[in-house]
Amino acid sequence: MTRHPRTVAVLVYDGARLMDIAAPLEVFGTAAGLGGRYATLVCSVDGGPVVTSTGTRLAADVSVGELLERPAAPGTLVVPGSDDLPLRPPPDGLTGAVAALAPGAARIASVCTGAFALAAAGLLDGRRATTHWRHAAALARRHPRVAVEPDAIFVADGRTYTSAGVTAGIDLALALVEADEGAGLAREVARDLVVFLRRPGGQSQFSVAARTPAPRHDVLRDLVREIAADPAADHCLTALARRGGISGRHLTRLFNEQVGTTPAGYVESVRVEAARALLEAGETVTGAARRSGLGSDESLRRAFLRHLGVTPSTYRARFRTSGVPAPAPLPAPLPAP
């Protein structure tokens, strides 16, 4: 008997950000390769190709009209964002396409500024939503009936799902895979793509590497890379100074001047980040403490309380899944004639 696929349609248009389009397609496509019941397609207003924000020409599988004529509507409609959507009205045909396709879809999702297209079609009135932090205020001003949550990575409200900037489309797509197929498959997809199943914190939360200024000193730059590559290695002040060929006092001064913290403080931050990823992937508290380099459960607990304000056990329970509830079961497939 043929399995019933969940069709995911991505509605593309000229100027759409390529990553907003590719990220959900990659997640759902990977999920399908790992056994998930997904079929993906790219839809444009007239069925013709579009030119994305990078200048890449992207072919469409179907037009909006052709998709509407199909006997089964897509289970998920994804609307990517563009740099223009926060600045001016949506391009010709986009609002109408969203409005036409939305009633038949089981759920409607936007990536980044795609929320402006959903809002223009009236789909976010009276609902909570998010978008890229840079444009959250503009979304709230333009659409006062939308309850904008500027720090959220993604927001689920009824059958509408909105997500933050660009890569948050991966977070949202993983959450939808989890809701459909369970946390096990979602974790496998996340491992395959080497991303978090659920990113900790909100849009104001970034990785240690992302929020660390690039060190100007060659020795310091190399040491920072070594710490990130192997957090559990010996990174005490003496070992770092020896590998860098400078004194511990000089190294401490360089860290304070160029990184904004002590060597020990930086190492602990990287280890906490590593422990978070391990816990999110299902590692035990003891295993996360050992593999991250923090050592004991108690050391891990103290570090988590200092950096995150929660214990490792609480963090593990909170972030092992995406938090999106599972939808109603799929209808049984029709028997073959």
The pLDDT, as a whole number, for residue 177 is 93
Residues 183, 220: one domain?
no
Residues 277, 166: one domain?
no
Q: What is the pLDDT of residues 229-240, one digit of tens each?
A: 788 899 999 999
Taking alpha carbons only, the member of 48, 40, 37 closest to residue 10 is 40
* β-sheet bridge partners, residue 41: 9
Both tokens of residue 177? 């895979």
Q: Identify whether the C-beta of residue 124 lies closer than 8 Å to the C-beta of residue 136.
A: no
The pLDDT, as a whole number, for residue 337 is 45
With respect to residue 103, please indicate whether it lies within any of the assigned structural domains.
yes
Residue that is last in its domain, among 193, 221, 244: 193
The pLDDT, as a whole number, for residue 145 is 96
Instruction: Give CA–CA dist 19/166, Å, rounded.
Output: 6
With respect to residue 70, please indicate whether it lies within any of the assigned structural domains.
yes
Q: Give the pLDDT band (50/70/90) at residue 1.
A: very low
Residues 268, 158: one domain?
no
The pLDDT, as a whole number, for residue 204 is 39
Residues 243, 159: one domain?
no
The pLDDT, as a whole number, for residue 213 is 65
With respect to residue 325, please indicate whether it lies within any of the assigned structural domains.
no
Residue that is last in its domain, among 140, 163, 193: 193
Say how many CA atoms lie within 13 Å of 150 toward its Cβ.
10
Residues 140, 250: one domain?
no
Q: What type of residue is 49?
A: P
Residues 232, 104: one domain?
no
pTM of the model: 0.63
* CA separation, residue 23 to residues 10, 20, 115, 164 (Å): 11, 6, 16, 13
Residues 272, 215: one domain?
yes
The pLDDT, as a whole number, for residue 247 is 95
> E strands of the chain, at which residues?
6-12, 38-44, 50-51, 57-58, 62-63, 76-79, 107-110, 128-129, 147-148, 154-157, 160-163
Residues 21, 170: one domain?
yes
With respect to residue 331, please indicate whether it lies within any of the assigned structural domains.
no
Q: What is the pLDDT of residues 103-118, one digit of tens each?
A: 999 999 999 999 999 9
Strands 6-12 and 38-44: parallel
With respect to residue 98, please indicate whether it lies within any of the assigned structural domains.
yes
With respect to residue 166, please indicate whether it lies within any of the assigned structural domains.
yes
Q: Give the domain CATH number at 248.
A: 1.10.10.60
Residues 183, 43: one domain?
yes
Going by C-beta distance under 8 Å and a sequence separation of 6 or more, which residues neighbour residue 7? 38, 39, 40, 41, 72, 74, 75, 76
pLDDT at 134 over 90: no
Largest interatomic CA distance in the chain: 79
Q: Does an H or E element contain 171, and which? A: helix 168-181
Residues 158, 54: one domain?
yes
Residues 94, 239: one domain?
no
Q: What is the pLDDT of residues 15-37, one digit of tens each?
A: 999 999 999 999 999 999 999 99
With respect to residue 150, please indicate whether it lies within any of the assigned structural domains.
yes
Q: What is the mean pLDDT of the chain?
A: 87
Q: Give the domain CATH number at 13.
A: 3.40.50.880
Bigger pLDDT: 206 vs 257: 257
The mean pLDDT of 276-291, rounded to a whole number, is: 86
With respect to residue 1, please indicate whether it lies within any of the assigned structural domains.
no
Residues 231, 173: one domain?
no
Taking alpha carbons only, the member of 103, 93, 114 closest to residue 168 is 114
Instruction: State how many domains the chain has.
Output: 2
What domain range includes position 231? 208-319
Residue that is last in its domain, among 144, 162, 193: 193
The pLDDT, as a whole number, for residue 277 is 79
Both tokens of residue 229? 């590559």
Q: What type of residue is 122?
A: G
Q: Identify whether the C-beta of residue 63 lies closer than 8 Å to the C-beta of residue 90.
A: no
